[in-house]
Chains A and B, each alone.
Chain A
């Protein structure tokens, strides 16, 4: 019984770690060509919260274009993206009543896209999920709108507070420098 409890706790911990660790292609977190890309989505009006998020690399062409993002309470980020052009392509989540959901973003447009020309810290923005009216026989639709809160600084502080791997990597100092820049 005790072992089972530990097993259960272990599985829960693994699940939580999986929830906030990035997936997809992996690179050394201290690679000097890395960029940190982050953003936030408020899913209060959505059927589920978000537990996974993906960026698609649209340029340069890649055989492995999907980059997983770490997700924690609306905050999403990846700390090892190489230079290129990216679009937020998919969010995923599940709820007890709602089941498993995927939220796909259109490939045309740059509302949730960015170009990384040189390594650095890039804020994709804070967004809010909005339900869009659809017909009785249509699939449910949604849109996202940009919001002012949380700010870039608030989210960077969260990354430092919540991810010790990032905090203890080369990103720690870079994030602190960016926070100082945002304050001044």
Chain B
């Protein structure tokens, strides 16, 4: 929690901090895993990871307040913190933790480029307020493993459902198998040359 001093000066500082953060996350914090539009974009040691994140219940109108020029980069989007090395996030994640993140639009499948190596979902973050006088984030638990085998082109990890209450407390985490819908979208997007292997997220330990 942050006390804010001298309201006018504070608003200016907060705005500057928010703009910096907006710019930083959208530009120069270590890059996110890139969305893939064609499998020909993939290099030899790369795999497209397919999955989805859902909030249950879904975000209600006005529960997320994003203001500013770049608002579409943050609206309805969960930042999944991902790393090839498993660790437990004990404190609020810092900028460096977001390198290699997956930017998942809630309720939509993501298709992102990854090294063909297993990696871990360490946690997630959703902006609740950004760009105005307040900055608030909600954090989500991780501790999940994405299993990728060398040489495979596409892996389906499931729908990661975060059940929450009105105070954004996470009451349950579930990995739901929605393979049929995902594979239909995968085939429409990439054709049928490569299969989408099902490898649902598993507990990291």
Spell out A's residues near B (CB within 8 Å): 46-47, 58-59, 61, 85, 87, 98-110, 113, 132, 139-144
CA distance A87 to B129 in the complex (A): 15
Give the Cβ gap from B138 to chain A, nearest Cβ, in Å. 4
5 residue pairs from A and B, CB less than 8 Å apart: A58-B166, A99-B6, A107-B136, A107-B168, A142-B1
Residue B84 at the A interface, CB < 8 A? no
Pair B169/A110 contact, Cβ less than 8 Å? yes
Count A-B contacts at CB 8 Å: 75
Spell out B's residues near A (CB within 8 Å): 1-7, 10, 13, 17, 60-62, 128-129, 134, 136-139, 165-169
Which of B7, B17, B129 has the largest count of A CB atoms less than 10 A from its CB? B7
Q: Given that A61-B62, A85-B167 are known contacts, is A107 also in contact with B5, CB under 8 Å in the complex?
A: no
B128 neighbours in A (Cβ, 8 Å) = 107-108
Pair A108/B3 contact, Cβ less than 8 Å? no
Residue of A nearest to B137 (CB): A108
B138 neighbours in A (Cβ, 8 Å) = 107-108
Q: Given that A102-B10, A110-B167 are known contacts, is A61 also in contact with B61, CB under 8 Å in the complex?
A: yes
CA distance A103 to B10 in the complex (A): 12
Residue of A nearest to B129 (CB): A107
Q: Given that A58-B167, A61-B62, A102-B10 are known contacts, is A108 also in contact with B139, CB under 8 Å in the complex?
A: yes
